[in-house]
């Protein structure tokens, strides 16, 4: 199994797409920080002063960490859906799934090794996001004013690790969602379309349910996006477009719901892959 995970990572490392997605991640971070800084340096006349201050604070330490994690969560989700779906879907398109399965007969090894390698890539991607975000926040903090590092206590650093963990956990259902759709449709297009489609349609549905009120407003508590938003540290900009802090589920609800989604997606993906014939 370890050899299969290593082999998966070898493929991902050698693939140009992985590096392109990493460049997109870095570019998105730069855009997010510098565009936001642009707004604060010459804010529109009708923007209230408190709003400008809040935006400015999000570009400075310590608030900048929230900006880093929420940005990584948002863009990371989209990029991971693309990477995961194409990695699985293309195995069918290129016929490599046959090659692999005629080497290792245990099918769940194939699925598990892929999932573990995606999680490793997610950890690496998140680490890189934090590093890029930290450098960018250093720049914007210095541009706005001086940095006071007094907040950086041991407990604060511990809190940062906790935020890292929750952000990573919130990426899992989307990794598994893309996995599920790619196995279901046996193609990269199905995985990307299904994963991104679900992501955006769900966000719209959450907004509609929240607006509808009554029992319908309870439904988002059991969907993915509101629960992810409840776990990922939020900044004023990176929060889901239809989810406000007041409507978010509790941390316990969020953790359990996401865990249930993860288990369901894994079980269905494994079952489908095990049961289906691999034809040409």
Partner 1 sequence: MEKNGDLIVRTEHLTKCFGKLVAVDDLNLEIRKGEVFGFLGPNGSGKSTTMGMMLGLIAPTSGTVELFGLNIQNYLPKILQRIGAVTESIGFYPYLSGRDNLKYIARITGGISSSRIKEVLELVELSGREKDKFSNYSLGMKQRLAIACALLNGPEFVVLDEPTNGLDPAGMKEIRELIIRLGQEGKTIFLNSHLLHEVEQVCRRVAIIKQGKVITQGLVKDLMKKGDTLQIKVNEPEKAMTVLKNINWITSIVREDDKLLIGVKAEKYAEISAVLAKESIFVTEMRAKENTLEEFFLEMTEERIND
Measured from the CB atom, the residue of 104 and 218 that comes closer to partner 1 is: 104
User: With CB under 8 A, what is the number of residues at the site for partner 1?
Assistant: 27
Site string (104-133) toward partner 1, x via CB under 8 A: xxx---------------------------
H helical segments located in the chain: 2-14, 16-41, 49-58, 64-93, 96-101, 107-144, 154-185, 188-212, 224-231, 251-275
Find the binder of partner 1 among 24, 39, 52, 101 (CB under 8 A).
101
- 203, 206, 208, 210: CA torsion to nearest 10: -140
- Told to check if 98 binds partner 1 by CB under 8 A, we report yes
Find the binder of partner 1 among 30, 51, 100, 160 (CB under 8 A).
100
Residues ≥6 apart with Cβ < 8 Å to 206: 220, 223, 225, 226, 240, 242, 243
Per residue in 182-203, is it b (16+ CB within 10 Å) or e — as a string?
A: bbebbbbebbbbbbbebbeebb
Measured from the CB atom, the residue of 5 and 172 that comes closer to partner 1 is: 5
Contact range with partner 1 by CB under 8 A, out of 59-67, 92-100, 157-165, 225-233: 92-100
Find the binder of partner 1 among 45, 50, 150, 277 (CB under 8 A).
277
Minimal distance in Å, beta carbon 41 to partner 1?
Answer: 42
Contact range with partner 1 by CB under 8 A, out of 3-11, 25-33, 151-159, 224-232: 3-11
Alpha-carbon gap, residue 57 to 36, rounded angstroms: 11
- Told to check if 145 binds partner 1 by CB under 8 A, we report no
Residues ≥6 apart with Cβ < 8 Å to 182: 84, 85, 88, 89, 188, 190, 191, 194
Query: 101 with 107: CB under 8 angstroms?
Result: yes
Tokens of 58: 């999000």
Contact range with partner 1 by CB under 8 A, out of 68-76, 91-99, 139-147, 183-191: 91-99
Binders in 5-34 for partner 1, by CB under 8 A: 6-7, 10-11, 14-16
Measured from the CB atom, the residue of 87 and 210 that comes closer to partner 1 is: 87
- Told to check if 103 binds partner 1 by CB under 8 A, we report yes
Residues ≥6 apart with Cβ < 8 Å to 223: 202, 205, 206, 257
Binding residues for partner 1, rule: CB under 8 A, are 3-4, 6-7, 10-11, 14-16, 94-106, 275, 277-280
């Amino acid at each position: 199994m370890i050899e299969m995970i290593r082999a998966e990572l070898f493929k991902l490392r050698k693939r140009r797409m992985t590096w392109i997605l990493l460049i997109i991640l870095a570019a998105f971070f730069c855009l997010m920080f510098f565009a936001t800084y642009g707004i604060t340096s010459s804010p529109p006349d009708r923007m209230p002063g408190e709003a400008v201050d809040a935006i400015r604070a999000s570009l400075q330490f310590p608030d900048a960490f929230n900006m880093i994690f929420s940005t990584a969560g948002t863009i990371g989700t989209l990029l991971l859906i693309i990477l995961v779906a194409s990695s699985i879907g293309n195995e069918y398109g290129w016929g490599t799934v046959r090659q692999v399965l005629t080497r290792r007969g245990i099918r769940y090894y194939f699925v598990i090794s892929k999932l573990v390698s995606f999680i490793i890539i997610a950890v690496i991607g998140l680490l890189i996001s934090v590093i890029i975000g930290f450098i960018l926040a250093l720049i914007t903090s210095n541009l706005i004013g001086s940095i006071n590092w007094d907040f950086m206590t041991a407990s604060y650093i511990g809190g940062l690790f906790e935020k890292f963990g929750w952000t990573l956990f919130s990426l899992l259902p989307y990794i598994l969602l893309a996995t599920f759709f790619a196995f279901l449709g046996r193609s990269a297009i199905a995985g990307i379309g299904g994963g991104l489609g679900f992501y955006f349609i769900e966000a719209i549905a959450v907004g509609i349910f929240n607006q509808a009120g009554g029992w319908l407003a309870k439904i988002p508590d059991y969907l993915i996006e509101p629960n992810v938003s409840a776990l990922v540290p939020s900044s004023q900009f990176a929060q889901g477009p239809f989810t406000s802090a007041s409507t978010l589920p509790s941390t316990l609800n969020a953790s359990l719901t996401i865990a249930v989604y993860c288990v369901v997606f894994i079980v269905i993906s494994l079952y489908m892959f095990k049961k289906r014939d691999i034809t040409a």
